[in-house]
Every structure is written in C-alpha cells, then in structure tokens.
Amino acid sequence: MTDKEKERRFGRYVVKEHTARRLVIVGRQSSPLVVGLIWAVFIPVALLIGPWRGGTPLYITLTAALVLLVVSLLILRFVPRRQQFAVDLDAGEISLERAYLIRPLQTAQMELEAVAGFRCRRRLWRDKPGLEAVRWAVQVLGNDGQTWQVAEEEEEAAMDGMAHLIAKVSGRPLLSEE
C-alpha cells in the first residue's frame, strides 16, 4: 500500500498491507490513555478533598488509591493495546498477535488448510433486562471446531466488510453466523 492510497478502515482496525497474496490488519486500543485519564482525575480530587485539607480520612483516600491501582493493573493486563491479524498465502498460514502493556505477547498461527472459514457473528451482552449491547465479531473457524476471535466492534458494517476482505484474500469461505 502506497502513501497516496487511502487507508482502509474497519472501525478501529486499519488495513496496513493488502495484496493478492497477503493481508495485514492492525487494531489499536487506548488502554494506557484510559489509565492515564483515571489517574489524572483521581489525583486532583484526592488533593482537593484529602485528609490534609480536613476532608476525608486518610484510610478512605488510601483505599480509593488502592482500588484505582488494581483497576489500572487489570486494564493494562487484560486489554490488548495492539492486535494484528495477517493472512499470508505464500507461507500458507494466518497469524493473530495481541500485545499487552504488562503481559507477554500472545501469538496464534495456523495453517490455511486447518481453517474452515470466517464469519461475522453478532454477540449480545445483557447486563440486566433493558440494558444490553450488541457487538459484532470476526471469527476464524477451524476444521476441528475451534474458534478464534480476530476483531470486535459495535458496527456491523465494519466487521462484515472485514470478514469479506479476509475471506476474499485467504480463499476460504465466509460462513453464516450459525
């Protein structure tokens, strides 16, 4: 892809390389930014209402700081900051990489012959009646029944377009949701 070509986007995922034999899609998360914003809000609030100003007792301020520290570490450990999915027909494989800030790089590689196809699947998250969220996921389906998630977004059109592009480049079928 040359600099003059417009980047193709699927939500927060960007096509970095697209040829007839190779496709690379990269998605980025802003987990370090979220953690920074949490602490940027907490520190001024703690300074304004801290025990040294006659506000909350010290143990409440320390407990709040500890809770925020745990939440920050959980976000940094379990939310990937970068995901990369690649289809390489010359090597005959597909690969999926997830990079975390405080966790080792996770990679998964599989031969194209072991892939049954791809699908765009609707996922419904329901916290309580009346409060639900719909997310769309692009998944790799293995011949042995295993499923690997490539990407997830709120927009159906973006994930459907990504699934079609991956299926076209890989030469594998685009399967129905169920």
Based on the domain organization, do 126 and 92 belong to the same domain? yes
Residue 111 lies in a domain: yes
Based on the domain organization, do 91 and 70 belong to the same domain? no
Residue span of the structural domain in which 65 resides: 32-78
Tokens of 136: 């769309």
* CA dist., res. 166 & res. 93, Å (int): 13
- Edge to edge, the sheet with strand 82-88 lists 9-10, 13-18, 22-28, 82-88, 93-99, 106-111
Which residues lie across from 136 on neighbouring strands? 122, 153
Distance (Å) of CA 163 to CA 38, 41, 159, 168: 34, 39, 6, 9
Based on the domain organization, do 24 and 93 belong to the same domain? yes
- The predicted-structure confidence for 50-107, as pLDDT tens digits, reads as follows 777 777 788 888 898 999 999 999 998 998 899 999 999 999 999 999 999 888 999 9
- The predicted-structure confidence for 132-164, as pLDDT tens digits, reads as follows 889 999 999 999 989 999 999 999 999 999 999
* CA dist., res. 156 & res. 10, Å (int): 10
Q: Output the pTM of the full model.
A: 0.79
Based on the domain organization, do 144 and 164 belong to the same domain? yes
